[in-house]
Chains A and B, each alone.
Chain A
Amino acid sequence: MSETIPMAPPAPQRKGRLRDRAATWLPIAVLGPSLFATFVYVFVFTGWTLYISLSNSSLLPSYEFVGFEHYASLWENRRWNVAYTNLFIFSVLYVIGTMVVGLLLAILIDQRVRAESVWRTIYLYPLAVSFVVTGTVWSWLYSPTSGIEFLVRGLGFESFTFAWTTSRELALYAIVLTGVWQASGFAMALFLAGLRSVDQDLIKAAQIDGASMFRIYRRIMIPAIGPIFIAVLVVLLQFAIKTFDLAIALTGGGPGIATTFPAIYVYDLMFQRGQIAEGAAAAIMILLALAVVLVPYSLWRVWRRRFELQI
């Protein structure tokens, strides 16, 4: 903890007192507007949406309290069930896929390859571009009449199919694959930074003992970057829960409702069907999902910091 600067040093003269008082209140006054805006955004907005979800609002907000009615009808809704099942499947595959590819790329780049920064630039650029752009281009590549399927069939593999986005069963996996493509560079960057920070003496000692490269990674390097795994996991889960643009650009939630996600469903309820109370209930469910991921993570971080301070 760094030391706090005393706000108002004792002032003997009268003239200085006004200035000192101004000095005490000026920072708070300057911070005020931001504090106000952020508090409204975080607490008032959440509270309001929570209240709307408990009211009988339909096309316009209304403040008549009806309790958990809309949550009940939300959970009975087939489309919501599809949406959160999709979210669950997507999250698991997306997180595992991204971390596996990210770790593989990080380990490969860690082999002292030439032109390291070129490789890194290639793997990270999808993160700079919007999901709208990457999703749109990938939707073309999945297109059977002009994309990858067309190319491979043209090479003579007539039975090859890759038209995942037009298949009810496979469209979700097209989103997973594109999501992994988009985010694995991010995992790679964090894992690589972690691998580079592992104690070099430890690795040298293992090498002298004759441990193989595979063993060194499995037994020393990967366990050493455990905290980074958890950080990447939490960030990716956040991305997954907020999935919206990617699915809209890639499949539009279709075919049918095959790739609906909670975030898409909220948007539809609020702005296409005018059921804002149920939409608000769904939005609160998204917030809860985020809390389930983030609250344990922040508690774990606080606990770890305390633990480290004790040592």
Chain B
Amino acid sequence: MTAVAAYDPLATAGAWRRSRAKIGVYVVLGIFAAWYLLPLFVVILNSFRDLPEIAENGLIALPRSFSFSAWGEAWSSFCVGGTCEGMQRNFYNSLMMTIPATIISTAFGAVNGYILSKWRFRGSEWLFGAMTLGVFMPGQIALMPWAFILGNLGLTNTISGLVLIHVVQGISFTTLFCRNYYLSIPDDLIKAARIDGAGFWRIFRRIILPLSPPILIVTVIWQFTGIWNEFLYAVVFSSGRGQPITAALIALSTNGTNVRTYDVMSAAVLIGALPPLLIYFFGGRYFIRGLTQGAIK
């Protein structure tokens, strides 16, 4: 840490140039921050503004009116695709899909990672490599096969069908994350436990699980945001009242018949963005760790 603090790239120039450069740094960072935050501000402010005011002053303006009515309407009474129940149904659908799929895929990933790092057998490295191929599969390849399987299982248009899809596709990721993390647990720890007579599950419960919270948090956050935000399968394998929120939002915004009700749509969009945003703001550290791990592999 001290090494980092000792290094100041701008220290190579004179005092005046240095402070001028520093101001320049903040100005550029500020401009980019404005670009990044613009959509967030727009959508938050417009969810509290009145529609006539938005129509008059445009989307990017400071609010002159204030009301919560758009939120109520977006949540429970706005009409999407023939039904007028607002987003609440789709929000529940997303929760009912995301929570089980996250828990199940993470549980499988933890056990798989434990086996592939601590109970290796002939060919297990090769099997692991093949499993990680699932990470790269484009969704389009799996569309027809999933349609066939869901049809045969009677799961077409059900949340359970989507849970199945996300569990199977998620296992590659969760196994990869957990296996790479468990490699850092010393094998001697496991050996000692085995000499003491501990079995497969006992070692998992008593040694591996207590050391797992960091990677389990990363995995849960990664799976939750990924599944919540997923769109292709949501729109292909669900319809109407059964749609997760991402699919419903697209149905809402391409609803060309009525005048754009930006106030209600802003609230609806925020409802759809809220769970991942909350996770990001409260677990950002873990989110970024998952992102870099998922990317570099």
Question: Once bound together, how far apart are the Cα atoms of A48 and B22, in whole Å?
Answer: 58
A190 interface residue per 8 A CB criterion: yes
Task: Please name all residues of chain B whose beta carbon is closer than 8 Å to the beta carbon of A104 when the two chains form the complex.
Answer: 28
Contact of B10 among A111, A134, A232 (CB under 8 A): A111
The distance from the CB of A99 to the nearest CB of chain B, in whole angstroms, is: 13
Question: Once bound together, how far apart are the Cα atoms of A27 and B43, in whole Å?
Answer: 50
Contact of B144 among A28, A34, A61 (CB under 8 A): A61
CB within 8 Å of B: which of A104-139?
A: 104-105, 108-113, 119-134, 136-139
Task: Please name all residues of chain A whose beta carbon is closer than 8 Å to the beta carbon of B260 when the two chains form the complex.
Answer: 146
Contact of A211 among B12, B33, B37, B175 (CB under 8 A): B12
Q: A151 to B144, Cβ gap below 8 A?
A: no
CB within 8 Å of A: which of B183-200?
A: 183, 187, 190-191, 194, 199-200
Question: Once bound together, how far apart are the Cα atoms of A112 and B26, in whole Å?
Answer: 11
The distance from the CB of B14 to the nearest CB of chain A, in whole angstroms, is: 12
Q: B280 to A128, Cβ gap below 8 A?
A: yes
Q: Which of B68-76, B80-88, B135-143, B207-215 contacts A (4 or more CB under 8 A)?
A: B135-143
A66 interface residue per 8 A CB criterion: no
A311 interface residue per 8 A CB criterion: no
Q: A27 to B200, Cβ gap below 8 A?
A: yes
Q: B138 to A287, Cβ gap below 8 A?
A: yes
Question: Once bound together, how far apart are the Cα atoms of A282 and B144, in whole Å?
Answer: 13
Q: A49 to B12, Cβ gap below 8 A?
A: no
Range of interface residues on chain A?
Answer: 35 or more
Q: A241 to B134, Cβ gap below 8 A?
A: no
A172 interface residue per 8 A CB criterion: no
CB within 8 Å of B: which of A26-58?
A: 26-28, 30-31, 33-35, 37-42, 44-46, 48-49, 52
Task: Please name all residues of chain A whose beta carbon is closer than 8 Å to the beta carbon of B33 when the two chains form the complex.
Answer: 119, 122-123
Task: Please name all residues of chain A whose beta carbon is closer than 8 Å to the beta carbon of B35 when the two chains form the complex.
Answer: 181
Contact of B269 among A133, A212, A232 (CB under 8 A): A133
Q: B36 to A123, Cβ gap below 8 A?
A: yes
B11 interface residue per 8 A CB criterion: yes
Q: A111 to B43, Cβ gap below 8 A?
A: no
A34-B171, A287-B141 known; A151-B58 Cβ under 8 A: yes
Residue of A nearest to B249 (CB): A132
Task: Please name all residues of chain A whose beta carbon is closer than 8 Å to the beta carbon of B130 when the two chains form the complex.
Answer: 38-39, 42
Contact of B273 among A7, A105, A133, A200 (CB under 8 A): A133
B97 interface residue per 8 A CB criterion: no
What are 8 A-to-B residue pairs whose CB atoms are below 8 Å?
Answer: A5-B119, A27-B121, A38-B130, A119-B33, A131-B229, A150-B58, A193-B292, A267-B143
A38-B168, A130-B273, A287-B138 known; A124-B288 Cβ under 8 A: yes
Question: Once bound together, how far apart are the Cα atoms of A210 and B11, in whole Å?
Answer: 11
Question: Once bound together, how far apart are the Cα atoms of A26 and B187, in whole Å?
Answer: 19
Contact of A249 among B7, B253, B273 (CB under 8 A): B253
Question: Once bound together, how far apart are the Cα atoms of A238 and B296, in whole Å?
Answer: 12
Task: Please name all residues of chain A whose beta carbon is closer than 8 Å to the beta carbon of B120 when the two chains form the complex.
Answer: 4-5
Question: Once bound together, how far apart are the Cα atoms of A19 and B231, in whole Å?
Answer: 47
CB within 8 Å of A: which of B261-297?
A: 262, 265, 269, 272-273, 276-277, 279-281, 284, 287-288, 291-292, 295-296
Task: Please name all residues of chain B whose beta carbon is closer than 8 Å to the beta carbon of A263 when the two chains form the complex.
Answer: 138-140, 232
Question: Once bound together, how far apart are the Cα atoms of A125 and B119, in whole Å?
Answer: 39
Q: A5 to B187, Cβ gap below 8 A?
A: yes
Q: B60 to A136, Cβ gap below 8 A?
A: no
Work out how many contacts link A and B, with CB atoms closer than 8 A.
282
CB within 8 Å of A: which of B25-78?
A: 25-26, 28-29, 32-33, 35-40, 42-43, 54-55, 58-61
Task: Please name all residues of chain B whose beta carbon is closer than 8 Å to the beta carbon of A252 when the two chains form the complex.
Answer: 254
Task: Please name all residues of chain A whose beta carbon is closer than 8 Å to the beta carbon of B42 when the two chains form the complex.
Answer: 137, 140-141
Task: Please name all residues of chain A whose beta carbon is closer than 8 Å to the beta carbon of B133 when the two chains form the complex.
Answer: 42
A170 interface residue per 8 A CB criterion: no
Question: Once bound together, how far apart are the Cα atoms of A130 and B282, in whole Å?
Answer: 18
Q: B246 to A132, Cβ gap below 8 A?
A: yes
List the 4 closest A-B pairs by CB distance, nearest first.
A130-B229, A128-B280, A27-B119, A283-B140
A108-B28, A125-B36 known; A42-B11 Cβ under 8 A: no
B4 interface residue per 8 A CB criterion: yes
Question: Once bound together, how far apart are the Cα atoms of A220 and B106, in whole Å?
Answer: 41
A41-B168, A129-B276 known; A146-B58 Cβ under 8 A: yes
The distance from the CB of B233 to the nearest CB of chain A, in whole angstroms, is: 11
Residue of B nearest to A27 (CB): B119
Contact of B277 among A128, A138, A150 (CB under 8 A): A128
Q: B60 to A148, Cβ gap below 8 A?
A: yes
Task: Please name all residues of chain B whose beta carbon is closer than 8 Å to the beta carbon of A44 when the two chains form the complex.
Answer: 145
Q: B231 to A244, Cβ gap below 8 A?
A: yes
Contact of A38 among B59, B119, B134 (CB under 8 A): B134
Contact of A41 among B60, B137, B231 (CB under 8 A): B137
B172 interface residue per 8 A CB criterion: yes
Question: Once bound together, how far apart are the Cα atoms of A266 and B5, in whole Å?
Answer: 52
A41-B134, A186-B295 known; A31-B115 Cβ under 8 A: yes
Task: Please name all residues of chain B whose beta carbon is closer than 8 Å to the beta carbon of A203 when the two chains form the complex.
Answer: 7, 9
B169 interface residue per 8 A CB criterion: yes
Q: B29 to A147, Cβ gap below 8 A?
A: no
The distance from the CB of B248 to the nearest CB of chain A, in whole angstroms, is: 9
Q: A133 to B58, Cβ gap below 8 A?
A: no
B92 interface residue per 8 A CB criterion: no
Q: A181 to B199, Cβ gap below 8 A?
A: no
A35-B131, A38-B168 known; A294-B136 Cβ under 8 A: yes
Task: Please name all residues of chain A whose beta carbon is closer than 8 Å to the beta carbon of B60 when the two chains form the complex.
Answer: 141, 147-148, 150-151
